[in-house]
A and B are shown apart, each in its own frame.
Chain A
Amino acid sequence: MTSLSVGCGLFGLPLDTAGPDLLTLFAVHGSGVGDDGANADGGRVTDALDAVLTTLAENEVDPRLLRATTARWASGALRELGDPSTRAQLLGSREMLFGEAELTERLPELVRDQVTGEQVSRAAARLRASHRAVVRFVPRTTATATAGATATAAAQGKAVA
């Protein structure tokens, strides 16, 4: 695995759409041998995601992990609010989407102080059962081009519902 990130929202911050938020997992992994091999690799990524969701859904969430996660998330969100232009943008978008600009300023504290392990377990259970879409970009390899150039120039999107 070259890189892996998971987060809520389309552009890195949660609550950026009027509908339910998306959980987005972004993984870059080694290429397989042809499509089947690549599919197998991608499948392992989603299998691993499901395994983590199952663990979270069926077990008590480690309170120390919960505290560390919410604290770090809250401080990241506060940091966004420290920048006047980002703050204005967030206040504006949440007013437009939810009629609730002040949510922006309350969110860090809400997440840090009020999220419980049970809530996290319930959310994980719902994610496991929810619809999901997998979009994969597979570089087409040719004998003449370098791998990097091929990945950019000839990336193919394959959507799997």
Chain B
Amino acid sequence: MTASNDGARLPLPDLDTTLPNGLRVVLCSAPVVPLVEVRLTVPYATTGPGEVALRQLLAGILLQGTAHRDADAFDNALATHGATLVAGADARRFTLTGHTLADSLPAVLALLAETVLGPRFTEDVVAPERTRLARRIELASHQPAAVAQRALLRRRYGDEAAARLEPAPRLAAACTPEDLAELHARHLGAAGAVLVLVGDLRPDDALAAVTDTFGAWRAGAADDVPRPPSPFVGGPPLWVDRPGAVQSMIRLATPALPRTDPGYPALHLAQLVFGGSFASRLVAHLREEKGYAYQLGSGMESVPGASTLMVEADTAAEHTAAALGVIRGELARMSTEPPSREEVDAARSYAIGSIATAMSSPASLASGLSNLLHIGVGADWLHGWGPLLDGVPYEAVAEAARRFFRPGDFTGVVLADESAVATLRRTGSAELDF
């Protein structure tokens, strides 16, 4: 490839170190504007069905004050420094995301530590948050995309394992301040946590501020980390009824290589040729030639220790069967007609250019780094990604195309009105021919 791609090399972090309590600190100087982006990730093991809701409730009260000040006082203190913090939780981690004016970094780190180490567990804080969360989960669960996502998780992992990845509102509703204090003690420890700071900072000063504020954070359990999901097998897509839907949602998935695997870059390029970019085969065929779908494509979904190759398309109900046929045909063509040199080179340029664009602000660089570190790649990954892609031989892409795109290795769901899938249904079953 051309030397111009060197310009797309993303910065290496200036500092990547781990405090004695196990908190990893990754600092990146990017003085574009006088701000610092803050990302704190605290991973944990997945537990019982629906219990994500409890972690989300804990995340919800993290910014509602501390032992020392109530929610208003806490927010005013942040605002004085031009700072904003948002807390969230999913099946695998807590995330605290925010930014501050650069000269206030030490003060804002102190506020962040204050709430992470000692949130306010009182009924007046917990009760409204409980109601809010239960309502939010309830509302989200009716969105078609969320229904499809939930059905796909069940199709991939079975009911029991899928339920461990989803919040149950009734668990949130029954959670007491004591339960939350216990959860906090069990899961919010420094061991395995990662703090990423990107922006207008001097690495030594920032590290000193982090050590001052988070040095006393207790380590917690070192083995409280997410385990990779078990691999799943291919099978016919399952029809999920959505009576009266004028649009169908197709969601297909197959296990792929984790990001840390040496074969990942070749697979990624194959995926871009298939459906991961605007010029890809699937988009050209399904959207531009046939006009069956306006929202479609493929992508890699990564979690610690595993990746999944996803193919998605939203189609008009009457084109559902035809669209599935086109997707199947394009998957099979990845073996019979592997990506050409031209296709691979175009995908390479796209991959290198698009990640440079996607990481071009301190905020997106901070989020990108934080997500990559969470799934287990090194802090130099972004820096090395361009050269890594440049070095992938054409034959490796063809091999990945043959290995990972076999239609029979995919499973999935189709959220649609009954009439849209009538021609595909197997007798007496919700399984569809694919």
**Chain A interface residues (CB < 8 Å from chain B):** 64-65, 67-69, 71-72, 74-76, 78-79, 81-85, 112, 148
Contacts and interface: CB of A to CB of B under 8 A. Distances in A.
B79 interface: yes
Nearest to A149: B244
A108 B76 CA distance: 19
Contacts of B32: 81-82
B253 interface: no
A63 to B, nearest CB: 11
Interface stretch (B123-131, B186-194, B216-224, B356-364): B356-364
B80 A74 contact: no
15 contacts: A67-B80, A68-B76, A68-B79, A71-B80, A71-B101, A72-B78, A72-B82, A75-B82, A75-B84, A81-B32, A82-B363, A83-B360, A85-B360, A112-B82, A148-B142
B99 interface: yes
A146 to B, nearest CB: 10
Contacts of A148: 142
Interface in B57-79: 76, 78-79
Nearest to A109: B34
Given A68-B76, A71-B81, A78 B34 contact: yes
Contacts of B363: 79, 82-83
B185 interface: no
B115 interface: no
Contacts of B84: 72, 75-76
Interface of B is mostly: mixed
Interface string B82-97: 1110000000000000
Contacts of B298: none
A82 B80 contact: no
Contacts of B80: 64, 67-68, 71
A13 B179 CA distance: 42
A83 B101 CA distance: 16
A82 B82 contact: no
A75 B100 contact: yes
A76 B35 CA distance: 10
A75 B35 contact: yes
User: Which one of B99, B142, B364 has the greatest number of beta carbons of chain A within 10 Å?
Assistant: B99
Given A79-B99, A83-B361, A74 B33 contact: no
Nearest to A70: B82
A78 B364 contact: no
B82 A74 contact: yes
6 A-B pairs with least C-beta separation:
A75-B82, A68-B79, A71-B82, A83-B361, A78-B33, A82-B361
Nearest to B84: A72
Given A76-B84, A82-B362, 17 more contacts: A64-B76, A64-B80, A65-B76, A68-B80, A72-B78, A72-B82, A72-B84, A75-B82, A78-B33, A78-B35, A78-B101, A81-B32, A81-B33, A82-B363, A83-B363, A84-B361, A148-B142
